[in-house]
A and B are shown apart, each in its own frame.
Chain A
Amino acid sequence: LGMDLTTLGLNLNSTENLHKTFGSPWSDEPAKGDPEFNVPQCYY
């Protein structure tokens, strides 16, 4: 009967994208460390 997919550690009702903090296919914890960010060249 499959599984309760809300128990896999992903906030499926989130208004934010999940991939920014997607830790790994094995963990139900959000990613540690800096999420992906890009600083425009002109900030340097």
Chain B
Amino acid sequence: DLGTIGDNLSGSTINSGGMHDQMYNLQMLEAAFCKLPQPKDSERPRTYTPRHLAATPPSYPQVQAPTVNLPAFWERLGVEGYGTDTLFFAFYYQQNTYQQYLAAKELKKQSWRYHRKYNTWFQRHEEPKVATDEYEQGTYVYFDFHIANDDSQHGWCQRIKTEFTFEYNYLE
């Protein structure tokens, strides 16, 4: 009776109102215990909906491999450098998915910077010639993802852009 480890004063004389409420609550809790939310109840597979449904042979994978949502997968692409095109593909063709989020994260790690006005990623080719609080100017590599409909302008490659001014208020 000097502390709580030992017998307690509670439980013995709860008034009828209290006992009823507690007893009722306990019964409802026991009933709920048999209907717990299951892990799958809160899994909402982000349904990946292909832009253009195309029938492919059933032997082809019909759903995306879970690997595609693992950050480690995209980090590896980033590190070894050869995966940059893949990062750009995920960024421009898997929009509003976790992949796009992860690809953008990797591109930033490689000092690519997204220009909000041109929707294009730029990377410094050399130290900028001019740099103020508002902008920087110099020669940049940019990823040209545009492919003109008549295929005249072959985009989907990295190009050099000299004398480019990157205004910081367009930097995402």
Residues of A within 8 A of B (CB): 23-24, 26-27, 29, 32-34, 37-40, 42-44
CB <8 Å contact, B96 and A24: no
CB <8 Å contact, A40 and B172: yes
CB <8 Å contact, B43 and A33: yes
Q: Known contacts being A34-B69, A43-B91, is A24 close to B100, with CB within 8 Å?
A: no
- With both beta carbons as reference points, the residue of chain A lying nearest to B69 in the complex is identified as A34
Q: Known contacts being A33-B44, A33-B45, A33-B46, is A43 close to B39, with CB within 8 Å?
A: no
Give the distance in Å from the alpha carbon of A26 to the alpha carbon of B32 in the complex: 14
B22 at the interface (CB under 8 A from A): no
Residues of B within 8 A of A (CB): 36-37, 39, 42-46, 69, 91, 95-96, 98, 100-101, 104, 114, 116, 119, 172
SS of A interface (majority)? loop
CB <8 Å contact, A34 and B46: yes
Give the distance in Å from the alpha carbon of A29 to the alpha carbon of B172 in the complex: 34
Give the distance in Å from the alpha carbon of A40 to the alpha carbon of B37 in the complex: 32
CB <8 Å contact, A37 and B95: no
16 new A-B contacts, CB < 8 A, other than A23-B39, A43-B91, are A24-B37, A26-B36, A26-B37, A29-B39, A33-B44, A33-B46, A34-B98, A37-B101, A38-B101, A39-B95, A40-B172, A42-B114, A42-B119, A42-B172, A43-B100, A43-B114
Q: Pick the residue among A24, A40, A42 that contacts B39 (CB under 8 A).
A: A24
